[in-house]
A and B are shown apart, each in its own frame.
Chain A
Amino acid sequence: MITTPDLIDALAANLAPVRRLRPPATRAACWLLLAALVLALLAVSQGIRPDLAQRSRDPTFILGTAGALLTGVLAAVAAFMVSLPDRSRLCMLLPCPALVLWLSTIGYQCLTNWVSLEPNGIRFGETARCFATLVLTSLPLSLAMLMMLRYAAPLRPTAATLTGSLAVAAITATALSLFHDLDATVMILMWNLGTAALFVGLGGAFGGKMFSWAAPRSMTRGA
């Protein structure tokens, strides 16, 4: 086994200059810019839902979408904060108020839509497009988040994954509510809750493994 003084010598001898990470708020802003870009590209390729103007007069819709968007923004900031060693773990609670707002509107829609559910409410074509939006939004954002948070691997993998996944899920839900008119059915609700649960659950279960894949090389060698 190498002795500690030898290890220090080896580390100092192979020292390379590093770029300091930008402040968490700046990094979150970069990620959100990417999210905005993805949403813009989707808007160009798939088109905004036809009844957006009509829906935007519905306070529940506005509250729900704003809640999801705000959750996405705050969760992204929280993820970058919690990935740094010298920030408190309580940063994780940052998106909680927005999350409560978002989830409360989902619950309300769920009740009203339950009553007006029609037999032909769910169309397969729309569902497939919905799924495409889901994957197109969440996949690049998740990968970007994973690479940006890789330094959290030896520190707080679970906390960083949870907040990061929540950010991706919330942005995805925002995209779904902007591009698809499925909220007359229960499908959008399933996606809204399902994507959040899926990402948070998968993130919680495989967070450590995903980060060990994305972690800096010398970390896996050293551990």
Chain B
Amino acid sequence: MRGPHGRAPPLTVVKGALTGEDALGRRASGPDRTRPAASDFEWSILMARAQDGDSDAYRRLLEEVTPYIRSLAASRHRDPSDVEDAVQDILLTIHVIRQTYDPTRPFRPWLVTIANRRLVDRLRRQGRLRSRETALTSDHETFQAGQANLHQEVSYRHELRAALDNLPPGQREAIRLLKLKEMSLKEAATATGRSVTALKGATHRALKNLRKMLSHRSEVQ
């Protein structure tokens, strides 16, 4: 049982421990097969062999602990794909830190601590992600094709036109020339015969009125 580095602690292998037989040579079956004490000792030996590079023992150990890990994961996750992800995460962690296992100590507490730490870490990470995400509702839906969003644009246009009609004539004209027809201040002044300052003032007041009217409407809606 000594590893390639000659540092493996001495291990006593009980007869039949690796074949699932008890001390009297009877093969364990049914629920007895998974008795904690027996499987713990067996897993301990398998892990010690795996540390020495025995890949068959390692494969058997991982296959045997997987249902146990899955039951631990299932108690914390509901989604089956989450459970399987968690199981694989725990198996990878076991693989990476397998040198921290001391074969003179029980295997199960080592395994359970690793499993619990990884499960708690996963749950925390999921919690953080979910706290930053917002569920998509029909209000958030927009479509790339312009026509699909047309009814909303049309209603905005109607609203804006109605608001413009409610403005005093001077202000309405200023908005029409400067904003809708995109004339410069000078051109608009020539067209209307009003001074640049007067047009500027009228535009400012018109925008203020429009903002007030439209915000009032959106509040009503």
Contacts and interface: CB of A to CB of B under 8 A. Distances in A.
A64 B105 CA distance: 38
B91 A154 contact: no
Interface in B131-147: none
Interface string A1-30: 110110111011101111111010000000
Given A12-B59, A85-B97, A222-B92, A4 B66 contact: yes
Counting chain B residues whose Cβ lies within 8 A of the other chain, the interface size class is 35 or more
A92 B88 CA distance: 30
A126 to B, nearest CB: 44
Interface in A72-97: 83-86
B55 A86 contact: no
B55 A15 contact: yes
Q: Give the secondary structure class of A's interface.
A: loop
A11 B117 contact: no
Contact of B59 (A8, A20, A84): A8
Interface in B163-188: none
A17 B97 contact: no
B23 to A, nearest CB: 26
Nearest to A150: B97
Contacts of A151: 96-97, 99-100
Contacts of B110: 85-86
Contacts of B91: 4, 7-8, 11
Interface of B: 3-5, 7-9, 50-56, 58-59, 62-63, 66, 84-85, 87-89, 91-93, 95-103, 105-106, 109-110, 113-114, 117-118, 121
A45 interface: no
A155 B113 contact: yes
A202 interface: no
B96 A12 contact: no
B79 to A, nearest CB: 13
Contacts of B102: 20-21, 23, 84, 86
B55 A12 contact: yes
Interface residues of A, number: 31
Contacts of B54: 15
Given A17-B5, A19-B7, 20 more contacts: A5-B63, A8-B66, A12-B58, A12-B62, A15-B50, A17-B51, A19-B5, A20-B8, A20-B51, A20-B99, A20-B103, A21-B100, A86-B105, A86-B109, A86-B110, A151-B99, A154-B93, A154-B97, A155-B114, A222-B96
Interface in A178-223: 216, 218-219, 222-223
B117 A218 contact: no
Contacts of A7: 88, 91-92
B62 A18 contact: no
B106 A4 contact: no
Contact of B95 (A4, A23, A218): A218
A13 B55 CA distance: 7
A27 B102 CA distance: 14
